[in-house]
Structure formats: C-alpha cells, structure tokens
Chain A
Amino acid sequence: DIQMTQSPSTLSASVGDRVTITCRASQSISSWLAWYQQKPGKAPKLLIYKASSLETGVPSRFSGSGSGTEFTLTISSLQPDDFATYYCQQYNTFSRAFGLGTKVEFK
C-alpha cells in the first residue's frame, strides 16, 4: 500500500505568515493528491484536488503543487480562520491513504 508522510507534524505561525506543508508518497501517485482542512469537532473540508486544483469556494490564498512523490500545500498569507489541521490524501489507488496531519497553531 502507498504510505503518505507529512511534515512538519506541527507548525507554529502568525497571521500573515506564508505557510508551507509537505507531503511525500512512498511511490509515484502522479497528481492524484488532495488536501483537506479539519477543525476540532468538524468534518474535514476539501481544499485542493489533483494536486493543484482549488475546490470551489476555497480562498485563493491556498495553493497546491507537486507531482509524482512530492507535494506541497501553501497558504500565502495565514488568516485567523486557517488555524486547523491539514491532511493530504492520495487517490492513485482505491486505498485512499491519508497523511498523519499537520497542525497549524498560533506562534
């Protein structure tokens, strides 16, 4: 099965910071990668699909890049509503493994 590794596991940042989260796949997944945002007690929200496509309604400060085994999620200017946990997920195979998550917290 494909394993997904996210880094860092925790990220301390301030409002206005540029934030980058990395996700690595154990084998090539082409561009079949999604990013989700989850807040405590809430269902995850799809942000990015196919590595770089922005889901409808998601602010343009979120962007995704990468292909093959290395991917990044970037928040260009962190807003108060963005403090949350972010997960990558591969869907190259039917076993849709998630990364372990990156918690973005206040510095």
Chain B
Amino acid sequence: EVQLVESGGGLAQPGGSLRLSCAASGFSFPSYAMNWVRQSPGKGLEWVSAISFHGTDTYYADSVKGRFTISRDNSKNTLYLQMDSLRAEDTAVYSCARVGLTTANFDYWGQGILVTVSS
C-alpha cells in the first residue's frame, strides 16, 4: 500500500524556519517525481514545489522561490521541504504528492501537516 506521511510541522515565528519531511513507503520512491502542495485554512490548493525522481531538477512557485528548498534522500525514501524566512501567509496545511508514471499527475497524497507562522 502506497503511504506518504508528513512530519515536522508546527508553530514558527515570522522569519523563522521549519523543515518538513515526507516518508514514503509501498512503492519504489526513487522512480517517482514528487511535489509539495499547500492549502491555507478555508482556501484552495496552491502548488509549492517539485523535484525530479533523481533530485537534480527542482522547481518552485514564485511565492516561495528563494525561501524554500525541496530535496530528497532516495536511500531513506524521504522527501523534504526546508522553509526559511517564513511569513504569516505561509500558514497552511502542507502535503506531499507523488507524480504518477502513467498520468503524470498527483495520484497519491499525504494526509498533510499544519504549519502556523505567528508571533
């Protein structure tokens, strides 16, 4: 069974940092591109970042470019999102999502982890 489990969320102060992790199991993690998506309370989905299956290609939404860094450790089947210079508007539930090999879209998602940025 495919599972994606996020951790590392919580409360951070404006200007602070957090690192999210997404532990993958039930599939060959090194074969899949991965993404982070966030959803602010009561709002819609916002794509945040993507990383290729080998980790050499990374992409970011303009809203997080220069502040967030996506990475992966294929030996640990884990995806990361380093979030620096956090702002109040980064408050959201962050989810990792797998890109399906046949659909090229997000076929499995984690349950999400809440990040709150507040003083």
A residues with CB within 8 A of B? 1, 34, 36, 38, 43-44, 46, 49-50, 53, 55, 85, 87, 89, 91, 94-101
Alpha-carbon distance A38/B107, docked complex (angstroms): 13
- 16 intermolecular pairs with C-beta atoms under 8 Å apart: A36-B45, A43-B111, A43-B112, A44-B109, A49-B104, A49-B105, A50-B103, A53-B103, A85-B44, A87-B44, A95-B59, A95-B61, A96-B47, A96-B50, A98-B45, A100-B44
Say yes or no: A94 contacts B110, CB within 8 Å: no
Given contacts A43-B109, A46-B107, A91-B105, contact A38 B45 (CB under 8 A): yes
Say yes or no: B44 contacts A98, CB within 8 Å: yes
Q: What residues of chain A lie closer than 8 Å to B95, measured between beta carbons?
A: 43
Interface residue count on the B side (C-beta < 8 Å): 20
Select one of A1, A46, A94, A97 contacting B105, CB under 8 A. Answer: A46
B27 at the interface (CB under 8 A from A): no
Say yes or no: A44 contacts B44, CB within 8 Å: no
Q: What residues of chain B lie closer than 8 Å to A53, measured between beta carbons?
A: 103
Given contacts A38-B45, A43-B95, A44-B45, contact A94 B50 (CB under 8 A): yes
Say yes or no: B103 contacts A46, CB within 8 Å: yes
Tell which of B47, B111, B112 has the most Cβ of chain A within 10 Å: B47
Say yes or no: B112 contacts A96, CB within 8 Å: no
Tell which of B50, B103, B110, B112 has the most Cβ of chain A within 10 Å: B103
What sequence of 0s and 1s flags, for each residue 90-119 of chain B, a beta carbon within 8 Å of any chain A beta carbon? 000001000010011111011110000000
Say yes or no: A101 contacts B45, CB within 8 Å: yes
Q: What residues of chain A lie closer than 8 Å to B46, measured between beta carbons?
A: 98
Say yes or no: A43 contacts B45, CB within 8 Å: no
B62 at the interface (CB under 8 A from A): yes
Q: Output the least CB separation between A12 and chain B (Å).
A: 19
Q: What residues of chain A lie closer than 8 Å to B100, measured between beta carbons?
A: 46
Alpha-carbon distance A95/B105, docked complex (angstroms): 13
Q: Output the least CB separation between A79 and chain B (Å).
A: 23
Q: What residues of chain B lie closer than 8 Å to A49, measured between beta carbons?
A: 103-105
